[in-house]
């Protein structure tokens, strides 16, 4: 007799998603300055944990809940939360899809590596078409003003900012998120998996 997978919105899964979303929301408030105006946060670790244990759809639900909670204290009229959601989804969905095809440590690491590359690519697009236009409008700055605010030597054009700062920062962020998730997933696995019903 085969065991059925627990439904996405079963009571155990809903409880886990709520707890992980709350943890992600708290981590979203803790930022570590890295370069220019980019800050590292670890809020997508609970999202990755949920996506690995319950599937990509659960990861998206947790990510969406984190973004919705973030709207309560947004300093960017929701624009930052939208960009964060898009970049988070670019990391989490490929990682979870690859892992769920073959649930091994190797596939988890491969998935997170692919997700990190996707996140870096989406970060360039999200910054170019969402974040930078928002900040230029909100603070009445042109691109030269943004570059001066970033204050990084040798960065004198939008594309240099995106390709030499934004993309590498998100590669670093993805690597950190992947490393921490890889270390804590197995020890937390009994708490993350719903009982079969």
**C-alpha torsion angle, residues 73, 81, 70, 87 (rounded to 10):** -150
Q: State how far the alpha carbon of 191 is from the alpha carbons of 15, 64, 186, in Å.
A: 11, 22, 10
The rounded mean pLDDT for the chain is: 91
**Greatest C-alpha distance within the chain:** 66
Who contacts 20 (Cβ-Cβ below 8 Å, separation ≥6)? Answer: 46, 47, 49, 50, 62
For 2-54, what is each residue's pLDDT tens digit? 455 568 888 889 999 999 999 999 999 999 999 988 999 999 999 999 999 99
Cβ–Cβ < 8 Å for 16, 28:
no
Lowest-confidence region among 8-22, 112-126, 181-195: 181-195
Report the alpha-carbon distance of residue 32 to residue 172 in Å, rounded. 13
Q: Report the alpha-carbon distance of residue 172 to residue 10 in Å, rounded.
A: 35
Query: Could you give phi then psi for residue 40, rounded to 5 degrees?
Result: -90, 130
Cut 0.85: pTM above it: yes
pLDDT at residue number 1: 43
Name the DSSP class of 77. Answer: T
Beta carbons within 8 Å of 194's beta carbon, 6+ residues apart:
6, 10, 12, 13, 16, 54
Q: Per-residue pLDDT tens for 42-95?
A: 999 999 999 999 999 999 999 999 999 999 888 788 888 999 999 999 999 999
């Amino acid at each position: 007799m085969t065991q059925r997978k627990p439904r996405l919105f079963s009571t155990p899964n809903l409880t886990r998603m709520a707890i992980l979303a709350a943890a992600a929301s708290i981590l979203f408030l803790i930022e570590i300055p890295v370069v220019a105006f980019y800050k590292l946060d670890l809020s997508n670790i609970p999202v990755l944990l949920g996506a690995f244990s319950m599937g990509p759809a659960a990861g998206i639900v947790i990510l969406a809940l984190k973004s919705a909670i973030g709207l309560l204290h947004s300093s960017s009229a929701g624009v930052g939360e939208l960009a964060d959601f898009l970049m988070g989804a670019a990391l989490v969905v490929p990682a979870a899809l690859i892992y769920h095809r073959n649930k091994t440590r190797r596939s988890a690491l491969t998935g997170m590596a692919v997700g990190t590359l996707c996140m870096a690519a989406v970060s360039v697009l999200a910054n170019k078409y969402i974040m930078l236009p928002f900040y230029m409008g909100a603070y009445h700055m042109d691109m030269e003003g943004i570059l001066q605010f970033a204050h990084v030597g040798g960065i004198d054009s939008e594309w240099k900012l995106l390709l030499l700062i934004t993309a590498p920062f998100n590669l670093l962020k993805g690597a950190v998120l992947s490393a921490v998730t890889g270390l804590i997933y197995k020890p937390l696995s009994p708490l993350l998996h719903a009982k079969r019903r």
